[in-house]
Amino acid sequence: MLKLSSEIVNAFLDPCISVFEQVISTSGTLEVNDTYINKLKVSPYEVSVSSMVSGDLDGKIVLSVSTEMAMEIAEQMMGEMINSLNSDAQSAITELVTMIVGNASVKLSKLNHNIKMAPVEFSYGSHVEIGSVECPYPVSISIKSDLGIFELDLAFY
Amino acid sequence: MSNIEGKTVMIVDDTSFMRKMLKVVLEGAGCTVVAEAGDGADALEKYQEHKPDFVTMDIVMPQMDGIASVKALRSIDPDATIIMVSSAGQDSKVMEAKEAGASNFILKPFEEKNVVNIISSVFS
């Protein structure tokens, strides 16, 4: 099993930034705000979209955003105003994370690491668990965009 | 005018957002979306009912994933035209999809013109 390294972190971070910039034109240029070991082990914002992966890496990738930012992302992706995080908005954000993890799997394959992703899950209102007994120290990357700050969490066993 | 104008299509993707996006793009190119499915099992049923000219197929889906769905569709109709639309576009996955019977592969996120160009190339 692979160990979490800067190469692995970048394989997820780079697609996260590029997909975000490509799909959400008003997000501006994204930059890393902070990187840390997530001692809280739960997602920091109320909207969490997670993908389980298996293969050369086993674990979970979580994108966590505030409700306000999630609504702005969904509006940008859908091209229409919304009043709540309805099922269409949830679907748009779910697709964003699918594209990020899918593109990361392409990047990892070029490094000869193969992962398989499971369908992405959307959670709202509760802070989802990121760390676990198998992964006590997940890596969290806080990313700044024109729409606000969000977090990408990587928890591999 | 593209050579896919007038063709019927079934869109298979587990997110309603992506089904809507593809519907807008394909209808803009003159296609008629005759069915949408959220997973492979649903796709099999609707394919037999509607017999579309081509299918766009996601890979990562619950129940039955896109590769298994391509194999199943091709066992029903060996002439089925299926174009993968997925973000999981590593070479091994593209190869696996093509070996299963997919005609081409569109990587997400995509640009509208690329979707139409790639599907048009399948029919040229």
Write the DSSP assignment of chain A as a string of letters: -PPP-HHHHHHHHHHHHHHHHHH-GGG-S-EEEEEEE-SS-B-SSSEEEEEEEEESS-EEEEEEE-HHHHHHHHHHHHTS--SS--HHHHHHHHHHHHHHHHHHHHHHHHTT--EEEPPPEEEESS--B---SS-SS-EEEEEEETTEEEEEEEEE-
Q: Please tell me the predicted confidence (pLDDT) of residue A32.
A: 94
Q: How far is A90 from chain B (nearest CA, A)?
A: 9
Give the tens place of pLDDT for each residue, B64-109: 999 999 999 999 999 999 999 999 988 999 999 999 999 999 999 9
pLDDT in tens, B31-50: 999 999 999 999 999 999 99
pLDDT, chain B, mean: 95
B20 CB neighbours in chain A (<8 A) are 88
CATH number of B8-119: 3.40.50.2300
Residues of A in contact with B91 (CB under 8 A): 109
Q: Is A99 in CB contact (< 8 Å) with chain B?
A: yes
Q: Would the CB atoms of B17 and A88 count as touching at under 8 Å?
A: yes
* Residue spans per domain, chain B: 8-119
Q: Which residue type sits at A85?
A: L
Q: What is the CATH number of the domain that holds A52?
A: 3.40.1550.10
How many domains is chain A partitioned into structurally?
1
Segments forming the whole domain that contains residue A43: 6-156
Nearest CA in chain B to A21: B109
Residue B104 CA: distances (Å) to CA of A50, A61, A80, B5? 29, 29, 31, 18
Q: Are B124 and B3 in contact (CB under 8 A)?
A: yes
Interface test with A, best of B13, B19, B90 (most A CBs within 10 A): B90
ipTM at complex level: 0.88
List, for residues B54-76, the tens digit of each pLDDT value.
999 999 999 899 999 999 999 99
Would you place residue A36 in the very low, low, confident or very high pLDDT band (cuts 50, 70, 90)?
A: confident
Tell me the pLDDT tens digit for each residue of A75-100: 999 999 999 999 999 999 999 999 99
pLDDT in tens, A94-139: 999 999 999 999 999 999 999 999 999 999 987 788 877 777 778 9
Higher pLDDT, B2 or A74: A74
Distance (Å) from the alpha carbon of B5 to chain A's nearest alpha carbon: 25
For chain A, give the percent of residues with pLDDT over 90. Answer: 76
Q: Looking at the domain assignment, is residue A69 inside a domain?
A: yes
Residue A1 lies in a domain: no
